[in-house]
Amino acid sequence: MIYANSPIDDYNNILQYINSYTKAFGVNAVQIDTDALLKVCFEIRNAFPHVDGIESASVFKKAAYFVAHFIKARLIRAEIMAVGGAAKSDINAVISFDIAIFTLQNSRIIQLDGNTKSVDKQIYISDHSYTDIIEALSAEHFCPKYHYQLLAVLFEQLVYKTNKHCEYVQKQDGGYYPIVHSVTGDSMHGA
């Protein structure tokens, strides 16, 4: 759906998805800034912020970069009711998040050792988490440069939560975290 053969393919896929999604959501009159959408489809490919480029980027980073650019562009102009109890629901956040989850489901993860894992179980998000995510994504100042990495980690954890077989195995030495150290003062017990 995204990162298809060309930005034009992405553009067409996203327009079809928006049309289907908004109709199912009960929103029939949707204004889309198609120039902004086309720009997003090119921006998510150009200067991709991964050290080895877009070809080597994970599905999590690709989905996150797309969502960050889509939200920043605010290309859909339609009012929707608050979703799932969120105080604020931007339709751009709702749809781009849905596209990301749709894209991640049935994706393949190529791990550092070359093994390929398939995301074959549906990604589940609790109502409470969904509400918080949409509210956070609906913030006024959203910047791909500063937010896409957090989104990539979020998507990675959402996939691993329901597709545990895709997660990396913990290293013998424990990896980076938790770092064993002594804590003085408040250790956050009962926080």
**Please, which pLDDT band fits residue 81 given cuts at 50, 70 and 90?**
low
pLDDT for 180 beyond 70: no
- How many residues belong to the chain? 191
**Cis peptide, bond prior to residue 178, ω within 30 of zero:** yes
Rounded to 5°, angle at Cα 23 from 162 and 85: 55
Give the per-residue pLDDT at 108.
Answer: 93
Read off the tokens for 144. 């791909």
More confident residue, 22 or 187: 22
Provide mean pLDDT across the span 126-134.
Answer: 92
Q: Is pLDDT at 146 greater than 60 in this prediction? A: yes
Q: What is the rounded end-to-end Cα distance, in angstroms, of the chain?
A: 42
Q: Is 77 helix (H, G, I), strand (E, B) or coil?
A: strand
Q: What is the pLDDT of residues 131-140, one digit of tens each?
A: 999 999 998 8
CB 132 within 8 A of CB 47: no
- On the question of pLDDT at 177 being above 70, the answer is no
